[in-house]
Structure 1
């Protein structure tokens, strides 16, 4: 048959980024066949690289080819083999019908010439296509069985490297794993996704692709069950045999928090000031919180602004942020530096708290007594003393853990147990500081003195929450 309006189509399902060798080879073979048969292509060459045809995904060049067919610009399509043109039944049936309607044949480098205007040609195209589909489905079944076996054996998932793990997923990248662990703990202690992403970016910690963190990337990490040593397959979770970064309970709590529809989320930049959205307006005195803003500097200081806390409703309250933040920070550090600060971690409503508290007091007393005895005994064995203290402290830690209020402990423990609470406060990210304030007290901002009167700390009303006094 003599063809006068030829077109070629090349496709590779999977190719590395920038790798076009496969489709180039196909193109050389289709061009050689067109030249041998004397079929002019005249620029009608269509190529989809790294595009699967199995699931009917968008193939832009294939769609351009079929549009050219329907405009009457093509009377034969040259392909390396029929499977490059179609791989699923729906597309094959639709394509055969379009080619039949417009009197277009298919010519294969490796395969027969198919005249789709005849019943025999369409039958052969359908049979060959079914063989292609069978091969694809059989390969898919083998891959699924292999995947299930890997899941059941606890083998790490393949694919792109997971932040925190080596490329094969079998070992930890320790510095990245530490960052992941800290992000989980910070989230459960009150941090926001935007704040976590901003904190990593400020410290120059990039994601696995070497790019800055975003809200969605941070969310994806904290929802990833892999960090808890789990793997999802067909809706079920299976245990894996790779190092975990957080325990399953921590991951599940983070997942619950992130998927809670009632939880307010922020996709924009994280908060910039300690009390925005936390402190209340003392003029409204109805629970209305303040937001942050700014005002211009004095005349002649173009571009300078002063940060403010403003009432969210009206303009009747506008206070400079710095002295207010310092006042609240001093209160927090003073409260968390008291000897009884550890009691803030205790869940008073938990059953058996009084009994556990008595055990804790007895263990602390025992540590104190042993220390005094060691100090007074010149012949005391230092190694035995250290071992005894270590055992008692381990028991004390277990008792304190049983008494601990889960949420308050996560938020406050870093400061309460620090040797220097003031330094520990400085090391906290802003989100954690905000969570500490919200856990300890209600802060209400009253109007300041008029004019240039000095700041009055009494205009910041700090009332401890129940059990936090």
Structure 2
């Protein structure tokens, strides 16, 4: 189609766009509009009232541009005679998109006028060539910009620079938020003790502890916080730890590594579960029949107790009962003392696990390097990587607690403030089971006898 008339009565649509508006004040598109309006006045065109403005939207990568699409629809409907832009690359930075525009301009006879590039007549070969050259240069600049940005991000990551965003536990300028940091340490302790994520989320909500955005706590949000190496002062680039960060850590690197491996794909974590109501249910076992004991209220003394359930048709004998309060206190103190005795052994086990994990990670890097230089093929690299990942998943992750709960003394000082599910996780970490023996005194007043408790300890 022949180009439309562009005389004094021509209807002009002005299109403005800027890729990044850091202040979100629209100043850049405002400057573009000012120059475009000046061009339209010189030409004597009637500028349409409708604004075609895409602010803070890139033209590269096929991003959705609402104003651009409205402008195309207006051209197809014949509602405009000329399009005015600040420069041709405001419309396109994508050669494929330009070809669609050329087809549209050819079908409608509508041309582009630029405040900086002049008249671009898409109805003739020279005009189309000029448009393609301008767009090609713009696309090249986009690629160069991407490369510079990627290189800068890599440089910052290798230097351990703070990523710049606020996250739970930290301000936007990498300062620790004390009350949020305390929550993160609590989350780490409870998860490493085996408590379920759903139970933790419910507890945080009941206590009125807010998330970073004031939303409800969920298992996924807790997992995401604890999976982030950032809380251990580590910088991540493209999903991998690239350097030690330039900010303070909330938990130790050792704790962070244990948490990340607990949540690693393919590893059974046992993290999802409901809240526990009774501390010793199932841990105490009747010596007579081997059945797990349950919470009850003693019929005569009205004291809370644990008993072997008497169920018709089941193996439970119902012949063993023990008072709850003294039993819980005795087992807790036994757990504290046991923890003190094995701290050294845990440290050795952790060091061995870290050494084995580090060796497997080094092998992953080696086979990746071999594949990069062509020493091995893709199938060989994939097979080797899968085998190493299986070996990593097979390594039993040692139970490691944040330093705040490492010793028996620390456990003792925080025991009463722990949720029941956390207390049970501590006991499960110490005892396989606790067998309750029959009363030594058959008649008379019942009193607590610690000799009735026969623990089977975990190694």
Partners of 1:37 and 1:329 in 2: CA distance: 93
Q: Distance in 2 between matches of 1:147 and 1:44?
A: 40
Listed as ranges, the matches of 1:92-241 within 5 Å are 92-158=98-164, 160-169=165-174, 171-209=175-213, 213-239=217-243, 240-241=245-246
| Change over 3 Å in CA distance of 1:431–1:113 after alignment to 2 | farther
**How far did 1:235 drift?**
4.9
Q: Is 2:195–2:271's contact at 8 Å kept on the other side of the alignment?
A: no
What is aligned with 1:453?
none
Q: Is the alpha carbon distance of 1:413 and 1:39 closer, same or farther for their aligned partners in structure 2, counting shifts above 3 Å?
A: same
Q: SS of 1:337's equivalent?
A: helix
- Corresponding residue for residue 10 of structure 1: 16
1:232 partner SS: strand
Aligned mate of 2:260, from 255, 261, 267:
255
Q: Which residue of 1 aligns with 2:333?
A: 337
Shift of 1:327: 7.3
Change (3 A) 1:428 1:34: same
> 1:272: how far off?
4.4
Question: CA shift at 1:132, angstroms?
Answer: 1.7
Which position in structure 2 is the counterpart of 1:426?
416
| 1:79 alignment counterpart | 85
Q: CA deviation at 1:250?
A: 2.0
Whether the aligned pair in 2 keeps the contact of 1:166 and 1:172 (CA below 8 Å) is yes
Counterpart for residue 377 of structure 1: none
Partner of 1:407: 399
Distance change (3 Å), C-alpha of 1:87 and 1:465 = farther
Distance apart, 1:87 and its partner CA: 2.2
8 Å Cα contact 1:274-1:434 kept in structure 2: no
With 114-123 and 102-111 compared, the bigger mean Cα shift is at 102-111
Q: Aligned equivalents of 1:75 and 1:87: distance in 2?
A: 23
Structure 2 SS opposite 1:338: helix
Pair 1:21–1:463, CA change in 2 (3 A): farther
Q: Map 1:381-392 onto structure 2 (within 5 A).
A: none
Long gaps (5+) in structure 1: 291-315, 318-323, 354-404, 444-461
Cα distance in 2 for residues equivalent to 1:43 and 1:22: 20
CA contact (8 A) 1:223 1:255 kept: yes
Correspondent of 2:426 among 426, 436, 439:
436
Q: Is the 8 A contact 1:345 1:408 kept in 2?
A: no
Q: Is the 8 A contact 2:227 2:256 kept in 1?
A: yes
Paired with 1:143 and 1:222, the residues of 2 have a C-alpha distance of 29
Matched, 1:271 2:274: yes
Q: What are the superposed Cα offsets for residues 57-77 of structure 1, whole Å, 9 maximum, x if unpaired?
A: 222222232233334434432
Aligned to 1:65: 71
| d(CA) in 1 for partners of 2:12, 2:334 | 87
Q: Is the 8 A contact 1:335 1:341 kept in 2?
A: no
Deviations 1:17-73 (A, max 9, x none): 752333334334434433443434444432222212222222222223223333443
Q: CA RMSD in A?
A: 4.6
Contact 1:415 1:424 in 2 (8 A): no
Q: 1:106-135: CA deviations, max 9, x gaps?
A: 122222121212211111111111222222
Query: In the alignment, is the contact (CA less than 8 A) between 2:255 and 2:402 conserved in 1?
Result: no
C-alpha contact (below 8 Å) 2:160/2:246 kept by paired residues: yes
Counting matched residue pairs gives 358
Mapped to 1, the partners of 2:226 and 2:19 lie a distance apart of 32
**Displacement, 1:273?**
4.3
Q: Deviations over 1:133-179 (max 9, x none)?
A: 22222233223333222222222223x2233334333x434443333
Provide closer, same or farther for how the CA distance between residues 96 and 187 of structure 1 changes in structure 2, counting only shifts above 3 A: farther
CA distances 1:234-274 after superposition (whole Å, capped 9, x unpaired): 4542213332222333222212222334547889xx83443
- Tell me the secondary structure at the aligned position of residue 243 of structure 1: coil
Instruction: Measure the CA separation in 1 of the matches of 2:202 and 2:167.
Output: 20
Could you tell me how far 1:210 is from its partner in structure 2? 5.7
- Which residue of structure 2 lines up, in the alignment, with residue 459 of structure 1? none
Change (3 A) 1:434 1:41: farther
